[in-house]
Amino acid sequence: MNLVLLYFLLLKAMLLSFSGLSSLPVIEADFVEKHHLITERQLNTAVAAGRSGPGPLGLYVVSVGYMAAGIPGAAAGYLAMVSPAFFILPILRFFANRATNPQVRGAIRALLLSAAGLLISSALPIGRATLTDGVMVAVAVGSFVVLAFTRVETLVVVAGSAVVGFTAALLRG
């Protein structure tokens, strides 16, 4: 197994994901389907092993690296997991020194708007699939209002929303 290839495949997955398991489809495509470095079962085992312990949600890439190439693969997975954090430091320094430049400010605004657009385009299909009746719309709007305008903990809002949704389902059927 070429450790450089392994590192770059895992790094690509980490860079293309927002957090945690969102890199899983990229890893599955590269490791299982395209390069046949691990099997689907090994990927499932790696995810379960990585998610069962404490630590960041993306820690499972270390287990994927281990499944593909043993301890050196685990080291490559670890390096791929932490590399984005080290890349961001020089990028932030670069932009901090140039933040007063109107072109740089415009580029930063464009990146923020494109990221917001991507988030909205991902949320719309989820919203269409889940907001199917008045109760679910009311729960979503109520949750948004509580989270946006109060200091209530997110866990309390999620638990309250679950209770309301469960109660509505029981009353319907």
List the chain domain ranges. 3-97, 102-130, 131-173
Higher pLDDT, 56 or 159: 159
What pLDDT does 18 receive?
A: 65
Q: Give the best-scoring range by mean pLDDT among 35-39, 50-54, 113-117.
A: 35-39
What pLDDT does 9 receive?
A: 95
Indicate if the pLDDT at residue 42 is higher than 90: yes
What would the pLDDT profile of 113-129 be if each residue is shown by its tens digit?
988 888 788 778 878 88
What pLDDT does 37 receive?
A: 94
Find, among 35, 34, 23, 33, the residue nearest to 63 by Cα. Answer: 23
DSSP string, 27-73: HIIIIIIIS--S-HHHHHHHHHHHHHSSS-GGGHHHHHHHHHHHHHH
Tell me the whole-structure pTM to 2 decimals. 0.57
Please, which pLDDT band fits residue 35 given cuts at 50, 70 and 90?
A: very high
Indicate if the pLDDT at residue 139 is higher than 80: yes
Indicate if the pLDDT at residue 1 is higher than 80: no
89 Cβ contact partners less than 8 Å away, ≥ 6 residues apart: none
Indicate if the pLDDT at residue 20 is higher than 80: no
Mean pLDDT, all residues of the chain: 88
Overall average pLDDT of the 55-75 stretch: 91
Indicate if the pLDDT at residue 145 is higher than 90: yes
